[in-house]
Protein backbone atom coordinates (compact mmCIF):
# COMPACT_ATOMS: atom_id res chain seq x y z
CA UNK A 1 0.00 0.00 0.00
CA UNK A 2 2.83 2.37 0.92
CA UNK A 3 4.57 1.66 -2.40
CA UNK A 4 1.34 2.28 -4.28
CA UNK A 5 0.91 5.57 -2.39
CA UNK A 6 4.43 6.69 -3.34
CA UNK A 7 3.89 5.76 -6.98
CA UNK A 8 0.60 7.67 -7.09
CA UNK A 9 2.22 10.70 -5.49
CA UNK A 10 5.09 10.59 -7.98
CA UNK A 11 2.74 10.34 -10.95
CA UNK A 12 0.64 13.21 -9.61
CA UNK A 13 3.74 15.36 -9.12
CA UNK A 14 4.95 14.60 -12.65
CA UNK A 15 1.52 15.39 -14.05
CA UNK A 16 1.38 18.71 -12.19
CA UNK A 17 4.89 19.58 -13.35
CA UNK A 18 3.92 18.90 -16.99
CA UNK A 19 0.78 21.02 -16.69
CA UNK A 20 2.82 23.79 -15.10
CA UNK A 21 5.32 23.78 -17.98
CA UNK A 22 2.51 23.68 -20.56
CA UNK A 23 0.72 26.56 -18.87
CA UNK A 24 3.95 28.58 -18.73
CA UNK A 25 4.50 27.96 -22.45
CA UNK A 26 1.00 29.15 -23.34
CA UNK A 27 1.23 32.25 -21.16
CA UNK A 28 4.69 33.09 -22.47
CA UNK A 29 3.57 32.57 -26.07
CA UNK A 30 0.58 34.87 -25.64
CA UNK A 31 2.71 37.61 -24.08
CA UNK A 32 5.21 37.20 -26.93
CA UNK A 33 2.54 37.63 -29.63
CA UNK A 34 0.91 40.59 -27.90
CA UNK A 35 4.26 42.34 -27.56
CA UNK A 36 5.74 41.63 -31.00
CA UNK A 37 2.51 41.88 -33.00
CA UNK A 38 1.60 45.07 -31.17
CA UNK A 39 4.97 46.59 -32.10
CA UNK A 40 4.55 45.64 -35.76
CA UNK A 41 1.05 47.13 -35.87
CA UNK A 42 2.25 50.39 -34.28
CA UNK A 43 4.93 50.68 -36.94
CA UNK A 44 2.45 50.03 -39.75
CA UNK A 45 -0.14 52.42 -38.29
CA UNK A 46 2.49 55.16 -38.09
CA UNK A 47 3.64 54.51 -41.69
CA UNK A 48 7.15 53.60 -40.53
CA UNK A 49 9.81 52.74 -43.16
CA UNK A 50 9.44 49.28 -44.68
CA UNK A 51 12.84 48.17 -43.36
CA UNK A 52 11.74 48.85 -39.78
CA UNK A 53 8.58 46.82 -40.30
CA UNK A 54 10.55 43.94 -41.85
CA UNK A 55 12.97 43.96 -38.92
CA UNK A 56 10.07 43.79 -36.45
CA UNK A 57 8.45 40.92 -38.37
CA UNK A 58 11.77 39.06 -38.28
CA UNK A 59 11.73 39.22 -34.47
CA UNK A 60 8.34 37.53 -34.41
CA UNK A 61 8.51 34.97 -37.23
CA UNK A 62 11.09 32.15 -37.44
CA UNK A 63 11.74 31.95 -41.17
CA UNK A 64 14.10 28.99 -40.76
CA UNK A 65 11.50 26.93 -38.89
CA UNK A 66 8.71 28.02 -41.21
CA UNK A 67 10.74 27.05 -44.31
CA UNK A 68 11.53 23.59 -42.92
CA UNK A 69 7.88 22.94 -42.16
CA UNK A 70 6.73 24.01 -45.62
CA UNK A 71 8.99 21.24 -46.94
CA UNK A 72 7.82 18.66 -44.40
CA UNK A 73 10.38 18.78 -41.56
CA UNK A 74 8.39 18.34 -39.40
CA UNK A 75 4.96 18.13 -41.02
CA UNK A 76 2.77 21.22 -40.74
CA UNK A 77 0.69 20.90 -37.57
CA UNK A 78 -2.56 20.24 -39.45
CA UNK A 79 -0.95 17.53 -41.65
CA UNK A 80 -0.83 14.12 -39.89
CA UNK A 81 1.82 12.67 -42.21
CA UNK A 82 3.97 14.06 -45.01
CA UNK A 83 7.14 13.61 -47.03
CA UNK A 84 10.32 15.17 -45.66
CA UNK A 85 11.40 17.08 -48.77
CA UNK A 86 13.63 19.39 -46.72
CA UNK A 87 16.40 16.81 -46.27
CA UNK A 88 16.28 16.13 -50.02
CA UNK A 89 17.44 19.70 -50.72
CA UNK A 90 21.10 20.70 -50.79
CA UNK A 91 22.31 23.23 -48.16
CA UNK A 92 22.48 25.88 -50.91
CA UNK A 93 18.88 25.16 -51.93
CA UNK A 94 17.73 25.30 -48.30
CA UNK A 95 19.35 28.72 -47.90
CA UNK A 96 17.91 29.97 -51.18
CA UNK A 97 14.33 28.88 -50.55
CA UNK A 98 14.40 30.20 -46.97
CA UNK A 99 15.44 33.62 -48.27
CA UNK A 100 12.68 33.61 -50.91
CA UNK A 101 10.04 32.55 -48.39
CA UNK A 102 11.20 35.30 -46.06
CA UNK A 103 10.67 37.92 -48.76
CA UNK A 104 7.22 36.56 -49.58
CA UNK A 105 6.10 36.31 -45.94
CA UNK A 106 7.35 39.84 -45.23
CA UNK A 107 5.46 41.14 -48.23
CA UNK A 108 2.20 39.38 -47.39
CA UNK A 109 2.46 40.22 -43.68
CA UNK A 110 2.86 43.92 -44.47
CA UNK A 111 0.07 43.79 -47.04
CA UNK A 112 -2.40 42.20 -44.61
CA UNK A 113 -1.48 44.64 -41.84
CA UNK A 114 -1.94 47.56 -44.21
CA UNK A 115 -5.43 46.28 -45.02
CA UNK A 116 -6.29 46.38 -41.32
CA UNK A 117 -4.49 49.64 -40.59
CA UNK A 118 -7.54 51.28 -39.06
CA UNK A 119 -8.74 48.13 -37.35
CA UNK A 120 -8.77 47.37 -33.64
CA UNK A 121 -6.94 44.15 -32.77
CA UNK A 122 -8.21 42.01 -29.91
CA UNK A 123 -6.25 39.09 -28.46
CA UNK A 124 -8.71 36.27 -27.88
CA UNK A 125 -6.58 34.05 -25.70
CA UNK A 126 -4.24 31.11 -26.15
CA UNK A 127 -4.37 27.34 -25.91
CA UNK A 128 -2.10 24.36 -26.37
CA UNK A 129 -1.85 22.97 -29.90
CA UNK A 130 -1.57 19.27 -30.77
CA UNK A 131 2.22 19.56 -31.08
CA UNK A 132 4.30 19.64 -27.89
CA UNK A 133 5.31 23.13 -26.73
CA UNK A 134 3.28 24.80 -29.48
CA UNK A 135 0.52 27.26 -28.58
CA UNK A 136 -2.20 28.80 -30.71
CA UNK A 137 -2.71 32.52 -30.09
CA UNK A 138 -5.95 33.88 -31.53
CA UNK A 139 -6.39 37.46 -32.70
CA UNK A 140 -9.30 39.32 -34.24
CA UNK A 141 -9.17 42.60 -36.16
CA UNK A 142 -12.33 44.70 -36.37
CA UNK A 143 -12.74 47.85 -38.45
CA UNK A 144 -13.26 51.08 -36.54
CA UNK A 145 -15.08 52.64 -39.50
CA UNK A 146 -18.80 53.10 -38.94
CA UNK A 147 -19.71 51.77 -42.39
CA UNK A 148 -17.74 48.56 -41.78
CA UNK A 149 -18.89 47.75 -38.27
CA UNK A 150 -21.22 45.01 -39.51
CA UNK A 151 -18.39 43.21 -41.27
CA UNK A 152 -17.14 40.09 -39.46
CA UNK A 153 -13.74 40.45 -37.76
CA UNK A 154 -10.64 39.16 -39.51
CA UNK A 155 -9.34 36.16 -37.57
CA UNK A 156 -5.62 35.35 -37.50
CA UNK A 157 -4.04 32.64 -35.33
CA UNK A 158 -0.32 32.53 -34.56
CA UNK A 159 1.27 29.15 -33.85
CA UNK A 160 4.13 29.71 -31.43
CA UNK A 161 6.85 27.21 -30.51
CA UNK A 162 8.20 27.78 -26.98
CA UNK A 163 11.49 26.70 -25.48
CA UNK A 164 11.88 28.28 -22.08
CA UNK A 165 11.97 32.04 -22.56
CA UNK A 166 12.38 31.72 -26.32
CA UNK A 167 9.26 31.92 -28.48
CA UNK A 168 9.06 31.61 -32.27
CA UNK A 169 6.10 31.96 -34.61
CA UNK A 170 6.19 28.89 -36.85
CA UNK A 171 2.87 29.24 -38.67
CA UNK A 172 0.20 31.85 -39.35
CA UNK A 173 -3.41 30.76 -39.86
CA UNK A 174 -5.58 33.35 -41.57
CA UNK A 175 -9.32 32.70 -41.54
CA UNK A 176 -8.63 29.00 -40.96
CA UNK A 177 -6.01 28.73 -43.73
CA UNK A 178 -2.56 27.56 -42.56
CA UNK A 179 0.42 29.15 -44.28
CA UNK A 180 2.74 26.17 -43.80
CA UNK A 181 0.11 23.67 -44.97
CA UNK A 182 -0.71 25.69 -48.07
CA UNK A 183 2.95 25.98 -49.02
CA UNK A 184 3.65 22.33 -48.23
CA UNK A 185 0.76 21.22 -50.46
CA UNK A 186 2.07 23.40 -53.31
CA UNK A 187 5.72 22.40 -52.90
CA UNK A 188 4.90 18.69 -52.59
CA UNK A 189 2.85 18.86 -55.79
CA UNK A 190 5.64 20.68 -57.64
CA UNK A 191 8.34 18.30 -56.41
CA UNK A 192 6.36 15.22 -57.43
CA UNK A 193 5.14 16.49 -60.81
CA UNK A 194 7.31 15.48 -63.81
CA UNK A 195 8.93 18.49 -65.47
CA UNK A 196 8.68 20.75 -62.40
CA UNK A 197 10.77 20.09 -59.30
CA UNK A 198 12.88 22.51 -57.24
CA UNK A 199 13.73 24.96 -60.08
CA UNK A 200 10.01 25.43 -60.71
CA UNK A 201 9.44 26.23 -57.01
CA UNK A 202 12.12 28.94 -57.16
CA UNK A 203 10.58 30.36 -60.32
CA UNK A 204 7.09 30.49 -58.80
CA UNK A 205 8.32 32.08 -55.55
CA UNK A 206 10.19 34.78 -57.47
CA UNK A 207 7.07 35.46 -59.53
CA UNK A 208 4.95 35.83 -56.38
CA UNK A 209 7.49 38.18 -54.82
CA UNK A 210 7.52 40.32 -57.97
CA UNK A 211 3.72 40.63 -58.31
CA UNK A 212 1.91 43.36 -56.35
CA UNK A 213 -0.55 41.02 -54.63
CA UNK A 214 1.95 38.19 -54.00
CA UNK A 215 -0.12 35.65 -55.94
77 touches 130 (CB < 8 A): yes
Whose CA is closest to 140, among 158, 124, 118?
124
What pLDDT shows up at residue 6? Answer: 46
pTM over 0.85: no
What pLDDT shows up at residue 78? Answer: 85
What pLDDT shows up at residue 161? Answer: 94
What pLDDT shows up at residue 214? Answer: 54
What pLDDT shows up at residue 144? Answer: 83
What pLDDT shows up at residue 13? Answer: 42
Kindly give the parts of the chain with pLDDT less than 70.
1-22, 213-215
For 181-205, write each residue's pLDDT tens digit.
999 999 999 999 999 999 999 999 9
For the chain, the structural domain boundaries read 10-210
CA separation for the pair 11, 41 (Å, rounded):
44
CATH placement of domain 10-210: 3.10.450.710
140 touches 124 (CB < 8 A): yes
Whose CA is closest to 45, among 113, 105, 107?
113
Amino acid sequence: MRLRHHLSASLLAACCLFVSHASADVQGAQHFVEKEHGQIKRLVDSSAPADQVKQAIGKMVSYDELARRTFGKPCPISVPSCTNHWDQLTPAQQTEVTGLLRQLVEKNFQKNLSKTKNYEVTYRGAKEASETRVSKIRTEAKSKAEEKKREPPVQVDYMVLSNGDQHLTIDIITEGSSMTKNYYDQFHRMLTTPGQGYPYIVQRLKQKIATPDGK
